[in-house]
Amino acid sequence: MDFSSTEKKYEALSPFELKNKEIEMAQTHHERMMLNAGRGNPNWVAVTPRQAFFEFGHFAIEETQRTMIRPEFGLSPGEDGAAKRFEEFLKKNKDAPGVKFLNEAYLHVKNELKIDPDKFVFEMVDGIIADHYPTPDRMLECSELIVRKYLDMAMCDNQPPKGTFELFATEGGTAAMDYIFTTLKENKLIHNGDKIALGTPIFTPYIEIPQLNDYQLVELEVQQDENEDWQYPDSEIEKLADPDVKAFFLVNPSNPSSVSIHQSTLDKIAELVTTRRKDLILLTDDVYGTFVNGFKSLAAVAPLNTILVYSFSKYFGATGWRLGVIGIHEDNVFDKAIAALPDKDRDELRQRYSTVVLEPDKMKLIDRMVADSRAVALNHTAGLSTPQQVQMVLFSLFCLIDKEDNYKKTAQDIVAKRFKTLYAAVGIPHPENPYDAHYYTTIDVPVLAKTRYSDEFADYLVKNFEPIDFVWRLAEEKSIVLMDGGGFDAPNMSVRVSLANLPDDAYDKIGKGISALLAEYHTNWEKLKK
């Protein structure tokens, strides 16, 4: 069957939209089970912190029933004596699911983090009951302290920079990116026609967002080298020295290649922003960082220039919870850049935020994001829902008290095992790289064709088939749904496999499907040569 004309039409779509067409094709063959390794939604859930969430809800309801103002109408809970009542609840329910962890988490907050226990328990009770707007709207106070400690560990390898990262709790990493782009534009830190650098390959929406009419940014690729374990060569990092480049946006570990940045490259970027490019905006999405041991974000080495985005979705199997944070250092280049804007621009910004604060000039960028997230006029109702913040806190505490990193080791083992299974089934050695998160992997089909068969056959594939032909036929003929790597600015005719969302044995079938399809291309090519 000649797919080429239809494929050409679909190549204009995001790989996430193309995936929907692949699913449609894969599901037409009811005699075969569809294997969809396209999306990155994990097939595990962190059980204990969820048990704790629902058990804590029982305590919170009891708190509202201490005073009933009408039948079915409890009273908003109070802070006085909350910790003592919680301790009694823990003793009374010590055998209930999640209570052992709740007790350990409570003691950690009280004894190690030195947070007032009444204040903490009340914030969690009021948060899970959700009878008030989020206050402060940027993030609840105890919640921010606890999540910051988690980020110090997870994003900075327990070596956070001096000073404090202020956090804004958001509806996942996607909302975080939306808010960031909006506020950078509204506050004159980026303008239509500005040049921004993208660390490629990269999550496709980050390629597409800057091109929208809202921003009209000019994109410069800072490319990872496939032949150097998907690292950034020094020559690519040097592109950031160009003063016309306003910002560098990246995913670390990368998506789709799933590899984190070498420390030496982090150091080069840090040196660049402390010498030649003190004004450079660094925006890093580090959702996969917890899958790499010793991971360090750009926020750890270049804190003054970095906007950090982290999501709890992948590590904890919580994409539906929509839990994310934006982190910006209290002493940053963004607030200084706004203060140095021309008078006309500052007058416009004073007018924009004048209904929110008395002194708009003193308003930090991160607080402007909060206001902008609700079109400024609705700032008084801004903020992530408080039950979401409670679950975020419980996820954070779950890892903070796990001194042996048992959860981390298991999560890493799950994806690493699938990674090895996939490559064994394809029939090639799996890459060995300590910087690899193993959450996704990218297989370059022409490179595989060259290695297994010949340079001539690889050239034939590239010259005679549309770039999406391989993923298209995998769906149509094998009922295997993978992402088109080219849509992420990875090599054309490469495939991205999510190693998180299917049972372990599915990756053997996917690997064999990739290998078998390539063999079929080769058989047809051999027939053509005769």
DSSP readout, 50-83?
HHHHHHHHHHHHHHHTTSEEETTEEPPP-STTHH
Task: Establish whether domains 4-40+406-529 and 141-349 are of one fold.
Answer: no
Provide the sign of the torsion angle of the four alpha carbons 433, 439, 445, 449, taken in this order.
positive
Nearest one of 164, 59, 140 to 389, comparing CA atoms = 140
pLDDT > 90: what percent of the chain?
A: 87
pLDDT digits (tens, 9 = 90+) for 313-359: 999 999 999 999 999 999 999 999 999 999 999 999 999 999 999 99
Is 343 exposed, middle or buried, given 0-12, 13-18 or 19+ CB atoms closer than 10 A? Answer: exposed
Task: Enter the CATH code of domain 141-349.
Answer: 3.40.640.10
Predicted TM-score (pTM) above 0.75: yes
- The residue extents of the domains of the chain are 4-40+406-529, 47-129, 141-349
Q: Quickly list H helices, 94-218.
A: 99-107, 117-129, 141-156, 172-186, 204-208
Please work out, in degrees rounded to the nearest 5, the angle formed at the alpha carbon of residue 190 by the alpha carbons of 184 and 195.
135
> In sequence order, which residues have a C-beta less than 8 Å from that of residue 404 and are 6 or more positions away?
none
Q: Token digits for 4?
A: 């080429």
Concatenate the DSSP letters of all residues of 106-121 into one string. HHIIIIIS---HHHHH
Fold adopted by 4-40+406-529: Aspartate Aminotransferase, domain 1 (3.90.1150)
Q: Token digits for 471?
A: 């993923």
- Phi, psi (5° rounding) for residue 181? -60, -45
pLDDT at 14: 60
Q: Token digits for 324?
A: 């994310």
What is the C-alpha separation between 281 and 273, in angstroms, rounded? 9
Per-residue confidence in pLDDT tens, the chain, 530 aa = 455 666 666 655 666 666 666 667 666 654 456 788 878 899 999 999 999 999 999 999 999 999 999 999 999 999 999 999 999 999 999 999 999 999 999 999 999 999 999 999 999 999 999 999 999 999 999 999 999 999 999 999 999 999 999 999 999 999 999 999 999 999 999 999 999 999 999 988 888 999 988 999 999 999 999 999 999 999 999 999 999 999 999 999 999 999 999 999 999 999 999 999 999 999 999 999 999 999 999 999 999 999 999 999 999 999 999 999 999 999 999 999 999 999 999 999 999 999 999 999 999 999 999 999 999 999 999 999 999 999 999 999 999 999 999 999 999 999 999 999 999 999 999 999 999 999 999 999 999 999 999 999 999 999 999 989 999 999 999 999 999 988 888 889 999 999 999 999 999 999 999 999 999 999 999 999 87
pLDDT at 31: 46
Mean of pLDDT over the chain: 94
Q: How close are the terminal C-alpha atoms of the chain, in Å?
A: 21
Nearest one of 123, 127, 83 to 107, comparing CA atoms = 83
CATH class of domain segment(s) 47-129: mainly alpha
> In sequence order, which residues have a C-beta less than 8 Å from that of residue 119 and are 6 or more positions away?
79, 141, 142
pLDDT at 30: 47
